[in-house]
């Protein structure tokens, strides 16, 4: 086994163990507050794998994290399919998984032989691309609400749920796409995704999933801060008006 592979796999193993520890604590908490009957095995499994994925790609060189991301997306896709949420099933299977597969290719291609450095460094979007991505977010948001109202025919769903569901979907799509080229801006969208997930599940009164998204929020925020620190000053893009 190459030294590069050994280094990266050690990172995966370490972060997987951390994720298991975090969710062991979460499970104890859920039992103590009387929510044990609402716990879904597939949700906990996807939570562990998804957290290990984010913890691993805190290192902008560890493309092995995306294998965990793909597994997490498969589990989440199945979970949403089982509850007839075909919109999120489509998002996870046809947007998340392909984006994560492409990220494996681009990150691996950019890595140097030692597995500790890369020719593809984290960077912020240019000012022009920042405006384009922001416009894409608004278009995806509007499109999702239109689909929910006109295509899915879901008048029984409240406007607040439609709004936060649209924010959730739009942010998750852009976060995945931006990671392909190691754009630090992706973590802003992961942050929005986590906040929207918390609010959306409060509206659904699914407090087990609310707890999971609080964990995602903490992990995504910490990962985002790490990426900002690892982004070279010359790659600050729109933050420097470039």
Q: What percent of the chain has pLDDT over 70?
A: 93
Range 152-174 average pLDDT = 85
Q: Is the pLDDT of residue 34 over 90?
A: no
Ranges of each domain in the chain: 3-240
Whether 1 has a pLDDT exceeding 70, the answer reads: no
What value does the mean pLDDT take over residues 66-86?
91
Residue 229 binned pLDDT confidence (cut-offs 50, 70, 90): very high
pLDDT at 154: 55
Average pLDDT over residues 63-82: 94
Whether the full predicted model's pTM is greater than 0.85, yes or no, is yes
Range list of β-strands (E), the chain: none
Tally the residues of the chain: 242
Higher pLDDT, 118 or 180: 180
**pLDDT over 60 (residue 182):** yes
Q: Is 184 exposed, middle or buried (0-12, 13-18, 19+ CB in 10 A)?
A: buried
DSSP code, position 115: S
Q: Torsions phi, psi of 87, nearest 5?
A: -65, -50
- Please check whether residue 43 is in contact with residue 206, taking contact to mean a CB–CB distance below 8 angstroms: no
Residue 9 neighbours by CB distance under 10 Å: 14
* DSSP for 47-92, written as a single string: HHHHHHHHHHTTSTT-TTHHHHHHHHHHHHHHHHHHTT-HHHHHHI
């Amino acid at each position: 086994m190459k030294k590069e592979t050994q280094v990266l796999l050690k990172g995966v193993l370490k972060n997987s163990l951390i994720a298991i520890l975090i969710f062991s604590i979460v499970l104890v908490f859920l039992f103590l507050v009387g929510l044990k009957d609402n716990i879904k095995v597939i949700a906990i499994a996807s939570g562990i794998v998804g957290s290990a994925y984010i913890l691993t790609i805190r290192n902008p060189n560890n493309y092995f994290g995306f294998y965990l991301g793909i597994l997490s997306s498969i589990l989440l896709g199945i979970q949403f399919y089982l509850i007839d949420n075909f919109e999120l099933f489509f998002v996870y299977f046809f947007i998340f998984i392909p984006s994560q597969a492409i990220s494996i290719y681009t990150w691996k291609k950019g890595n140097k032989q030692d597995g500790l450095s890369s020719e593809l460094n984290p960077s912020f979007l240019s000012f022009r691309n920042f405006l384009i991505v922001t416009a894409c977010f608004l278009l995806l948001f509007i499109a999702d609400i239109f689909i929910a109202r006109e295509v899915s025919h879901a008048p029984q769903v409240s406007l607040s749920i439609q709004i936060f569901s649209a924010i959730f979907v739009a942010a998750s799509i852009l976060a995945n796409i931006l990671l392909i080229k190691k754009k630090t801006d992706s973590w802003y969208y992961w942050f929005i995704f986590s906040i929207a997930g918390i609010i959306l599940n409060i509206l659904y009164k699914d407090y087990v999933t609310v707890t999971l998204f609080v964990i995602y929020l903490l992990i995504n925020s910490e990962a985002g801060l790490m990426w900002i620190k690892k982004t070279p000053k010359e790659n600050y893009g729109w933050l420097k008006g470039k």
